[in-house]
Amino acid sequence: MNPETEYHEGLEQLAQHYREILTLLGEDPEREGLEKTPMRVAKAMQVLTRGYQMDAHEVLRQALFKEDYSQMVIVKDIDFFSLCEHHMIPFYGKVHVAYIPNGYITGLSKIARVVDIYSHRLQVQERMTLQIKECIQQTLKPLGVMVVVEARHMCMQMRGVEKQNSITTTSDFCGAFNQAKTRQEFMNLIHNNKI
């Protein structure tokens, strides 16, 4: 799906619901500034939730290569944006992924694509972290996987406690990363200076 040109079924129905929401908020959806807003929001929501239309496992399988490399592979600082399922307000940040191959590797961009797919769904950070790890583990069957997500939540910044500088960190790991030494190596590598 090209997010700027392809939309799926239900677009007009979504737009109609947004017209009704504007009315319920006390606005006039027919006024000049809002006339096209319902369709714009409907299209934006289909783009922001396009991950429901994609299979992350298939993305990894499309670029699976036999390789004897058995050391840690890290893709860090993967930017992401998602929508909190509790308030449908954005949360955003970086994802760091490591895996230790067990005979197969995948294209590096495919790791970022997996992050993109799971982040483009209504989410909670904890579940997204787990889904990324499980997808890589189940598809590549590596010796271990670790995922760390660092995010700012607009639902905490714009409403509720209104804390502007808080960052939420989640992690999940399996296999070789059950060893503290391996986890520590990963953490050291993701927090080292940039290239």
Instruction: Examine the residue annotation and report whether 191 is marked as an active-site residue of this protein.
Output: no
SS3 category, 54: coil
| Catalytic-residue membership of 96 | no
Q: Does 85 participate in catalysis according to the annotation?
A: yes
Set 20, 67, 86, 126: catalytic member: 86
Active-site entry in 17, 57, 87, 157:
87
Instruction: Say how far apart CA 131 and CA 114 lie, in whole Å.
Output: 9
| Active-site residue, 125 included | yes
Tokens found for residue 175: 């296999």
* Residue (of 48, 55, 46) closest to 8 by Cα position: 46
Which listed residue (85, 126, 179, 184) is catalytic? 85
135 classed as catalytic: no
Instruction: Write down the catalytic residue from 27, 155, 174, 185.
Output: 155
Q: Can you point out the beta strands (E) in 24-167?
A: 64-66, 73-84, 90-100, 104-106, 122-123, 144-153
Catalytic residue among 46, 120, 123, 125: 125
Half-sphere exposure of residue 75: CA atoms within 13 angstroms, side-chain side: 20
What single-letter DSSP state applies at residue 68?
-
- Which residues are annotated as catalytic? 84-87, 125, 153, 155
